[in-house]
Chain A
């Protein structure tokens, strides 16, 4: 009986093991339609694996960049998990990832209720200064789903009032006044917000706070301080608006585009501005830089009255160690970021809802990447 049961157990385990092994033997990572264009210089194509984590605002951009990078460098593997900016910074500080994606640069001051300073903690983990490298700008669309309204104009004040629940119906006089000619339904406005902590929320509330301080009193934060119904991640809110008549949310342009949502034109005081790559470029151009040396932080002017500039946007950063502990990883980080920041890659990203960095910033980022070691 004993041998019988042993045999049985052995055979079951055996079958299971063989199954797993068989699968691993025939699995393939090669999804290239044609063999990679092997013309790439070997020096630019290190091998190895990088793990990154963070902002979901840059998910679409970085996935494209990774796909393109890996197509050229088949020996390299980059993983990116869009768990949120705060999560990315936390895992970077905990030494769990090689780079973090974040919609806001590492902070130099301690957060309330916490003794730690992000920048200092990150420097400590790296054993060298951690650098913030702006990689791509993601315009934040005020996306809506109202039948029969193709064009909607919003001012900062009306936007703030909608998102903090002061204006509750679409045919409110305040909306009608700035949208002459639009047929607005008497429908309730359903506001969707990010239920997870998010850099998008932080940048959007920064905008509301800067451009409509009278109507938006709450301090900008990663946690939503307005009203509404919470959904997780950019994709979650965009998806919810898509399936909800009368819905409105703030989400990265790419998500609004993918969901084919209506995108409001923003009137900061110099006339309504449609969300285009060019309009975003104008807003980024007036941003000022802070940060020292190769640690590049951009200060956006959300209240800008520059004509034709789309003011609601975020700059998403890659946070890396300036001197990585593992030289092999350093070469890989450098090669990947170089390809991500390259002009042709940046132009490609515009097609999927991002806006390239202004050339002045691009040059600075390129020299910072060169300085990584």
Chain B
């Protein structure tokens, strides 16, 4: 698309066969050289901005792939843990950390999504007056809570107050705090996009409000909500700060959320990230590549659902 196309489209008489050029439509404009130059300049600036913005992306992906990509091609990477492997020897895999990351992410979603979606439903469908304002305000505050503060809060609650062990579930609780506002905000936006005519139609037929929400509003907004959830999930899976405080690393496979330690990809990276011995360096970048890959798959899934699952209205 160029300026000229748009300009001629915009004009009612653009299609006139005898129009010698787009500039003659209204006879008002006289394009001085300076204006044209500025226009071209702006176009160049925008293209350059985009090109420059692509540099860090390409650079980061290249760094991660060139340093850690090879690890992903080793089949042991996907089947073995790091048990018994020190940073002096090559070998082992990341399956323990991949499992931990997926499990914690999944459980976080199972807890955070219902709370987030119901809060959004309250804000959009039910909430009026002071309480709704307060809830909306609190969601904003929750958005602003730095992850490290959320983690300290859970530590104080879980370990200091209740005297429990640091287990994966405590990490999940901290991640829930970080995921709720993302889910609320994205769901809220999606629910607001549902045309009011749909709701009113249902009401007119005598359908109670809750049934309207469950059977009309939610299905209409479904794909948008899923996208938001997956993006929120991608965000918490890459989160590291709560893990530093609540989720000690282990090199062994662990699947118990309520007992023992559970390894994750971010803690696997953290454990060896300043090492210089080659086997450890390779594993760090391999884990980084794996983490990015997992998050990309989630993002992609979110986009696909958004693309194909769009309601036909």
Contact = CB atoms under 8 A, between A and B. Distances in A.
Given A31-B91, A96-B166, A242 B84 contact: no
A23 B81 CA distance: 12
A2 B219 contact: yes
A26 B79 contact: yes
A217 interface: no
A328 interface: no
A60 to B, nearest CB: 8
Interface in B244-260: 248-253, 255, 260
Contacts of B248: 51, 53, 79, 81, 83
Interface in B232-251: 248-251
Contacts of B252: 29, 77, 79
Given A23-B98, A27-B79, A235-B276, 15 more contacts: A2-B214, A9-B222, A20-B99, A23-B99, A24-B99, A27-B81, A28-B80, A53-B248, A63-B86, A67-B86, A79-B248, A94-B159, A95-B163, A239-B274, A352-B88
13 contacts: A1-B215, A2-B215, A16-B102, A23-B102, A28-B81, A29-B81, A31-B83, A51-B250, A64-B88, A67-B85, A83-B248, A95-B163, A242-B276
A49 B81 contact: no
B295 interface: no
A12 B83 contact: no
Question: Which of A31, A49, A83 neighbours the largest number of chain B CB atoms within 10 Å of its CB?
Answer: A31
Contact of B261 (A12, A26, A79, A232): A79
Interface string B141-168: 0000000000000000001100101100
Contact of A96 (B159, B253, B309): B159
A70 interface: yes
A232 B216 CA distance: 54
Question: Which of A66, A70, A71, A81 neighbours the largest number of chain B CB atoms within 10 Å of its CB?
Answer: A81
A236 interface: yes
Question: Which of B160, B215, B219 neighbours the largest number of chain A CB atoms within 10 Å of its CB?
Answer: B219
A318 B81 CA distance: 26
Contacts of A41: none
Interface of B: 79-88, 91-92, 95-96, 98-99, 102-103, 106, 159-160, 163, 165-166, 214-216, 218-219, 222, 226, 248-253, 255, 260-261, 271, 274-277, 309
Contacts of A94: 159-160
Given A20-B102, A51-B261, A96-B166, A5 B222 contact: yes
Contacts of B99: 20, 23-24, 27
Contacts of A23: 95, 98-99, 102
Contacts, number: 117
Nearest to A70: B84
Contacts of A242: 276
A3 to B, nearest CB: 10
Secondary structure call for the A interface: helix
Given A2-B219, A20-B99, A79-B252, A31 B82 contact: yes
**Top-7 shortest CB links A-B:** A235-B274, A27-B95, A79-B250, A29-B83, A1-B219, A81-B248, A5-B219
A88 to B, nearest CB: 11
A170 to B, nearest CB: 23
A63 B87 contact: yes
Contacts of B277: 258
Contacts of B274: 231-233, 235-236, 238-239
